[in-house]
Amino acid sequence: MNSRVRILFGLAGALAVARFVLVPWLGAQADLHDRLYAVTRQLDRAEAIVAAGPDLQARRDTLAESVAELAARAPQAESGSEHRVQVQRELRSAVEAAGLKVQLFEWVFDGESTPTGLAFGRVRMQFEGTLREVAEAHVAIEAGFPQVFVRSLAVNVRNRGNLLGTAGATIELDLYYQPGEAS
């Protein structure tokens, strides 16, 4: 075979090897390298997470305690109906302890405060007595029930316009509580 033909065959063979063996092989190596890089980064992050594990647990526990402490201001209610009865009873007794006569106790609606994990019930109460008694009842509710938010209050004084005047009051309250799993 002529030397030129041999050289041409050799070149063609070399090119074919480069095209069908070297290039795909190098491509596969590049893919492998990329995967190795990605896995290495994942591993680095994983090791960092594992190393920070105890700190994360401790932080979570501290936060859980803090949250429990803040949430404890609202009473735990295992059952919604029982809680309603109990709250009604407590509020009524607080109002009556001030010398007022409860004319209406109405649950307006129940709702949830998603960010806090608490639930609340909106209550409307109407009672009658002197203006002083109304004030005492209001103070008693706000001071005695830290989970209660007074949304509105309307007091009409029918005669005299002083502390001893007869007054009819309507108060609207939001009562926060921690919902139990069953409720």
Whole-angstrom Cα distance, residue 176 to residue 76? Answer: 10
> Which of residues 45 and 82 has its CB atom nearest to another protein in the complex?
45
Whole-angstrom Cα distance, residue 94 to residue 173? Answer: 14
Which of these ranges, 35-43, 78-86, 88-96, 98-106, lies near another protein under the rule CB under 8 A? Answer: 35-43
Structure-token pair, residue 37: 């890089």
Beta carbons within 10 angstroms of residue 100's beta carbon: 24
15 contacts another protein (rule: CB under 8 A): no
19 contacts another protein (rule: CB under 8 A): no
Strand partners, 148: 175
Whole-angstrom Cα distance, residue 30 to residue 163? Answer: 89
CB neighbours of 132 closer than 8 A, spacing ≥ 6?
163, 164
Strand partners, 49: none
Candidate list 57, 76, 93, 103; residue touching another protein; CB under 8 A: 57
Dihedral-angle region of residue 143 (phi above 0 means left; psi in -120 to 50 means alpha; beta otherwise): alpha
Which of these ranges, 52-60, 80-88, 91-99, 100-108, lies near another protein under the rule CB under 8 A? Answer: 52-60
Candidate list 11, 64, 97, 108; residue touching another protein; CB under 8 A: 64
Question: In this structure, which amino acid lies at residue 112?
Answer: E
Nearest distance from C-beta of residue 67 to another protein, angstroms: 5
> Which of residues 85 and 164 has its CB atom nearest to another protein in the complex?
164
> Which of residues 51 and 182 has its CB atom nearest to another protein in the complex?
51
List interacting residues with another protein (CB under 8 A).
Answer: 22, 25-26, 28-29, 32-33, 35-36, 39-40, 42-43, 46-47, 49-50, 52-53, 56-57, 59-60, 63-64, 66-67, 70-71, 73, 113, 115-118, 131, 135, 138-139, 142-143, 146, 149-157, 160-163, 165, 176
